[in-house]
Structure 1
Amino acid sequence: MQLRRADVLRGARELLDAEGLDGVTMRKLGAALNVQAGGLYWHFRSKQALLEAVAEDLLAGVAASPPAGPWDQRLVTLAHRLRQAMLGVRDGARLIAETFVTEPNTTLAGLTGMQILIDAGLPPEQAAWTMFAVAHYVLGHTIEEQAAGPDRAAKLAALAETGPDVRELAAAIAADPGRRFEFGLALVVDGIRVRLGPRTPADS
């Protein structure tokens, strides 16, 4: 059976889940798909091109159906979709951070966030920069979340035992990452509200 582009993408995601981003090589992917590594280059000119395609595939659906409601609710929904997409595969956030993709899924996610902020009252340039800030928060949080090693709990327990002054810090770090994400995202959205300034009934 002829190897299809979709087969290569699926195999790359499976390899990423199994080996992590640092473990993805064309040789390993070829072995997993029972083809010579050179055969993969019919579909992707380089490993970087393959990773960019996986990143684009990962973001499918993030903005396919733009969220409805007030601007802040829409932005929060978009941020949650982005985080969940990256959590869908091992090292997903690193993959997004280490690639630069201008394909439809990725572009639509950025444009949707930008339009939400324009609708809220920001000029286009500031809306774009603000969306970058939101995306960088989501990326950074998710990278840290996915990078937590198996000995994380033991390290935090040891840290908590070093004294009462760091016990609360250790507990905060160990808190559910979803709750920490919500809190930080709320801070970002609060900052956007400050930037927007007071709203009048006509602005709503």
Structure 2
Amino acid sequence: MLLRKANVVDGALALLDDTGLDGLTMRKLGEALGVRAGALYRHFPSKQALLDAMAERIMASVEVTLEPGHWSEQGVALAGRLRHALLRHRDGARVVAGAYTAEAHTVLFGNTSAALLRQAGLPPRQAAWAVAAVSQYVIGHTIEEQARADLVEGGLWSKKMDAFTELSDDVALSAFDADPEERFVYGLQLFLNGIRHELSTTE
């Protein structure tokens, strides 16, 4: 079988789902694809180059076409779609976090988000910074969410929460043990409130 770039990325994402990011190596990927690891370097000169391509594939699954509506509703939709794209693959958020890739779909997401805030009234510089802040929140939240899922699967989450309960109260515990979706939306609204404040001071 002729090994193509797309096949390598497909195999890498499948291996990621199976082993997690820490288990993804060029050697293991080569074994999964039935080739020597050296064959992979013909398409990707380094593991980081492969991770960049994986990040771009993940970002390609984020739908950026928006329904008509208020900028805040459209922003919530984009952030939610990014989170769900990251959650589709084990450690997907960690892959995207380390990429800083300038590939087409990654750039499209950033440009679409920034244009949304510029149209709402933010100056270009502040719009770009706001997009970076919100994107980093989404990625960071999802990294923690996926780490929690791994702990739950490994039977370690309840033990950690039991140990935490001994040192804290139920209110503090809820910051860790609440529904991830609910906490995500709450945190996102805090960012939106900050952007609304910025808009009120630029009018």
TM-score, with structure 1 as normaliser: 0.91
- Where does residue 69 of structure 1 map in the other structure? 69
Identify which of 178, 182, 187 aligns with 1:184. Answer: 187
Letter in 1 for 2:161: L
Identify which of 131, 151, 157 aligns with 2:162. Answer: 157
- Where does residue 34 of structure 1 map in the other structure? 34
Which ranges of structure 1 fall in alignment gaps of 5 or more residues?
A: none
Q: Taking structure 1 as reference, are residues 64 and 192 closer, same or farther at Cα in structure 2, changes over 3 Å only?
A: closer
- Where does residue 169 of structure 2 map in the other structure? 166
- Where does residue 53 of structure 1 map in the other structure? 53
Q: Taking structure 1 as reference, are residues 198 and 48 closer, same or farther at Cα in structure 2, changes over 3 Å only?
A: closer
Name the count of aligned residue pairs: 198
Task: Output aligned runs, 1:95-134, within 5 Å.
Answer: 95-134=95-134
CA distance in 2 between partners of 1:58 and 1:35 (Å): 24
CA distance in 2 between partners of 1:32 and 1:90 (Å): 17
Which ranges of structure 2 fall in alignment gaps of 5 or more residues?
A: none
Identity fraction in percent: 49
CA distance in 2 between partners of 1:29 and 1:22 (Å): 13
Instruction: Find runs of 4+ consecutive structure 1 residues off by over 6 angstroms.
Output: none
Per-residue CA distance 1:93-131 (angstroms, 9 max, x = gap): 111111110000100000011000001100111100010
Deviation larger for 4-13 or 60-69: 60-69
CA distance in 1 between partners of 2:61 and 2:93 (Å): 16
Deviation larger for 26-35 or 13-22: 13-22
Q: Taking structure 1 as reference, are residues 42 and 199 closer, same or farther at Cα in structure 2, changes over 3 Å only?
A: closer
CA distance in 1 between partners of 2:38 and 2:117 (Å): 45
2:169 is paired with a residue whose SS is helix
- Where does residue 94 of structure 1 map in the other structure? 94
Deviation larger for 97-106 or 167-176: 167-176
Letter in 2 for 1:61: S
1:147 is paired with a residue whose SS is helix
Given that residues 17 and 90 in structure 1 are in contact (C-alpha distance below 8 angstroms), is that contact kept between their aligned partners in structure 2? Answer: yes
Quote the RMSD (CA, aligned, Å).
Answer: 1.7
Deviation at 1:42, TM superposition (A): 2.0
Q: Taking structure 1 as reference, are residues 52 and 16 closer, same or farther at Cα in structure 2, changes over 3 Å only?
A: same
Q: Does 1:13 align with 2:10?
A: no
TM-score, with structure 2 as normaliser: 0.92
CA distance in 1 between partners of 2:175 and 2:126 (Å): 32
Given that residues 63 and 112 in structure 1 are in contact (C-alpha distance below 8 angstroms), is that contact kept between their aligned partners in structure 2? Answer: no
CA distance in 1 between partners of 2:49 and 2:107 (Å): 17
1:196 is paired with a residue whose SS is helix
2:60 is paired with a residue whose SS is coil
CA distance in 1 between partners of 2:182 and 2:110 (Å): 24
